[in-house]
A and B are shown apart, each in its own frame.
Chain A
Amino acid sequence: MADTLENINPKLYKKIDERIVTANDENENIVDEFDTREIFDLIRNINDPEHPLTLEELNVVEQNLIENVPLQIDNRASKIIVKFTPTIPHCSMATLIGLSIRVQLLRTLPSRFKVNVEITPGTHMSESAVNKQLADKERVAAALENNHLLEVINQCVGIKC
């Protein structure tokens, strides 16, 4: 990435505890709907493009910002909105981070889900431009055909060993 770090000394946040597996979770006869914790677990370990830290540690994603809005015609959750907060308001990586979140959810969730990835309102100077780009599936599709960009995204979404 860039030679110099944009955000030299980011503030670190505590990670949340591991999910506690309940008896119901292990019961095959109970249908487990996707919940916010499950979605959060899919994206919390995405790496920041700039720092050897996860989006959770940088507070870019938080569990309470994810809301499942059920589709009116189908009460099973089919729509997911993820809001993410760039570490600094002029972060040039905002689109890349949003794209990584989107790619991770596209790859891991069933195709019926409609995923919206947006910047937390008021946390970035180019908020609407970044949101518009992330919402444009044609441009996202074209970006994912770019091998260099795909490599960078794969590095971000790859879980660290």
Chain B
Amino acid sequence: MGTLELKQTLSGHRGRVWNVCWHPKGSCFASCGEDKTIIIWGLQDSKWAIKTILTEGHTRTIREIAWSPCGSYIASASFDATIAIWDKQSGQFECNATLEGHENEIKSVSWSSSGQLLATCSRDKSVWIWEVTNGDYECAAVINAHTQDVKKVRWHPNEEIVASASYDNTIKLFKEDVADSDWTCIATLSSHTSTVWSLAWDKTGNRIATCSDDQTVKIWQEYKPGNDPGIVTTSNEPVWKCVCTLSGYHTRTIYDIDWCRTTGLLVTACGDDIIRIFKEDSDSDPHQPSFTMVCTMDTAHTQDVNCVQWDPTVPGQLVSASDDGLVKMWFYNE
């Protein structure tokens, strides 16, 4: 078993903190919550401190924030049905674009690896794809494939494929059809028995981990046409299969999951206030992988843990956010 060491407790938000997101270079991170603010935290004398507080971008709860891959922009998704884009061109972060179109609460926002595309999803059941050209944002597609509230969107680590997770219990993958430049659903991942709250791609993009209100984590594996195990594919598209279910570990809804691209460790944020870390077994069969829980941090927070995210540059470092209004910095030691 490894240990999770609390490095620092950060208070700054009033009320529930919904989300945290690392800057791609790891030197700072942002947090957001029901107080309608975004706080950017950075290191000062080896302690994390508030660098900037962004206000007045939204009129309701800020549900999620995302740094662009270049690190120059922050996109924020709000219950006020808008996305704000913040940039630092003037020297300090300012909201210079607001994207409108969703009918109600926006739940998630994600930048593609190139930074050229933005995906958003909403309570209105749709996923929107926005094209970014020279600071202009144009809606490229409105995808109405889910039958319920869409909770999360996340881009493939290097391809233009976006995954979405929904209250309709499914995960869907979308890709642009080159023939008619229409965004279409290329796979539907069904197995969870309740709301899928979050998802994380592994570093290769061949696997996805998902977490749900059904208190399980599932690992999905991509099988391309002509794959070795002979999994049947149709219309030349890969199929995704659930190859592992982690059940019996979580006692309430799992709100978030993150898959570390350097260590391969999985971390989950749960409504039972616990942060858990899972490691793939070294002798694990890729078509039937097995994971072991290597760490469990009871009362990581005093209320639901809403978000966990591994530092992209410092292996083992992770940040969490909770309903208790706090953000916590942790370090995992094997």
Asked if residues B194 and A114 are in contact (CB atoms below 8 Å), the reply is no
Task: Give the most central of A132, A135, A138, A141: most B CB within 10 Å.
Answer: A138
Interface residues of B, dominant DSSP = loop
Stretch from B39-47, B153-161, B296-304 that touches the partner: B296-304
Q: Per a CB cutoff under 8 Å, which of B253, B272, B324 touches A111?
A: B324
Given the complex, which residues of A lie within 8 Å of B324, measured CB to CB?
111
Known contacts A132-B194, A136-B167; decide if A142 and B105 are in contact (CB<8 Å).
yes
Residues 3-37 of B at the A interface (beta carbon under 8 Å): 16, 34
In the assembled complex, the CB of B253 is this many whole angstroms from the nearest CB of chain A, namely: 7
Interface size for chain B: under 10, 10 to 19, 20 to 34, or 35 or more residues?
Answer: 20 to 34
Roughly how many angstroms separate A138 CA and B60 CA in the complex, as a whole number?
Answer: 13
What 0/1 readout, one digit per residue, does chain A (18-57) give for beta carbons within 8 Å of chain B?
A: 0000000000000000000000000000000000000000
Q: Which residue of A lies closest to B80 (CB)?
A: A145
Q: Per a CB cutoff under 8 Å, which of B105, B107, B123, B271 touches A114?
A: B271
Q: Other than the known A132-B167, A135-B213, A137-B304, what 16 A-B pairs have Cβ atoms closer than 8 Å?
A: A111-B302, A111-B303, A111-B324, A114-B252, A114-B271, A132-B213, A136-B167, A136-B213, A137-B271, A138-B151, A139-B149, A141-B34, A142-B105, A142-B123, A145-B61, A145-B79
Residues of B within 8 A of A (CB): 16, 34, 60-61, 63, 79, 104-105, 107, 123, 149, 151, 167, 194-195, 213, 252-253, 271-272, 298-299, 302-304, 323-324
Residues of A within 8 A of B (CB): 73, 111-112, 114, 132, 135-139, 141-142, 145
